Amino acid sequence: MHEQLKSFLTRRQIPFEELVPMAKMTSFQTGGVARILIRPANEMQTACLLKELNRTGQDWFVLGKGSNLLAPDGMIERILIRLNENEPAPRQMGDEIECAAGYSLMKLCRFAQSKGLSGLEFAYGIPGTLGGAVFMNAGAYGGEMADLLVSCSFLLPDGTRMTLSAEELELGYRTSLFQKKKAIITGAKLRLKPDNGLEIETRMKEFLERRKEKQPLEFPSAGSTFKRPVGFYAGALIEECGLKGLTVGGAQVSEKHAGFCINKDHATTSDVLQLIEQVQKTVFEKKGVRLECEVRLIDRY
């Protein structure tokens, strides 16, 4: 099946790579090898690809920048897709910005700042793409994507293009419609507020410094490992259970911030998953709270 797909991609001039080490493609820096990683250059190529995958019944997964993902150890047969980060560049229309889903969230923050538009400061330091931020309704420091989204464009599995308003996206705490609807987000429109560019830059730097001070950014991770349980903070619960520094193989509950599971020393994905399960089990036994994992796993087939 992959040989037929490679022939199709070659004919349509859609870029792809084979035998890609996932440690280089995810922020956790764990995982095995992807049989094939497809990098469509634009929305037209993405739609063309989806039509072919739909026709041949092949499953796929959008990788993004791999900042909130765990890749399985071993060979990954599932078809992985990574959108082009630079096609097209963001476009400003008054206090609104239209941007492609593959665009870096950090770069988008800087673009907004350069245009004197405020609202995205909270996202400065989140190492994902705009599409990933919409998918997860990413947030921090009192802000989230739901506060800014006007609309979102996406492709259905048959390649059909659709656009929905923010009100139709079922945005909630770290969730959106796309977590239960098979689709590829291709772009979004954000509404921001005019402000002084220097003041925006100051806030961005302050948020980034807070991240550096409180989070274990010196080690590979996927950011906060668990969603915030209602009425609690995951990191505080984990610390109260005495789990700071708990280690499985090369994976560890960060000694700097207990809400982070980190790749301390050449961890495997199996190490990380076992560590997550131990934390969840202990917190439930001691606190009666079920921690829900925020990090997603690329299933192995």
Residue 151 known to be catalytic? no
Which of 151, 174, 176, 254 does the annotation list as catalytic?
174
Which of 153, 221, 224, 254 does the annotation list as catalytic?
224
Which of 96, 294, 296, 300 does the annotation list as catalytic?
294
Helix (H), strand (E), coil (C) string for the chain = CHHHHHHHHHHHCCCEEEEEEHHHCCCCCCCCEEEEEECCCCHHHHHHHHHHHHHHCCCEEECCCCCCEECCCCEECCEEECCCCCCCCCEEECCEEEEECCCEHHHHHHHHHHCCEECCHHHCCCCCEHHHHHHHCCEECCEEHHHCEEEEEEECCCCCEEEEEHHHCCCECCECHHHCCCCEEEEEEEECEECCHHHHHHHHHHHHHHHHHHCCCCCCECCCCECCCCCCCHHHHHHHCCCCCCEECCEEECCCCCCCEEECCCCCHHHHHHHHHHHHHHHHHHHCCCCCECCEECCCC
Residue 161 known to be catalytic? no
Residue 17 known to be catalytic? no
- Residues marked as catalytic: 174, 224, 294
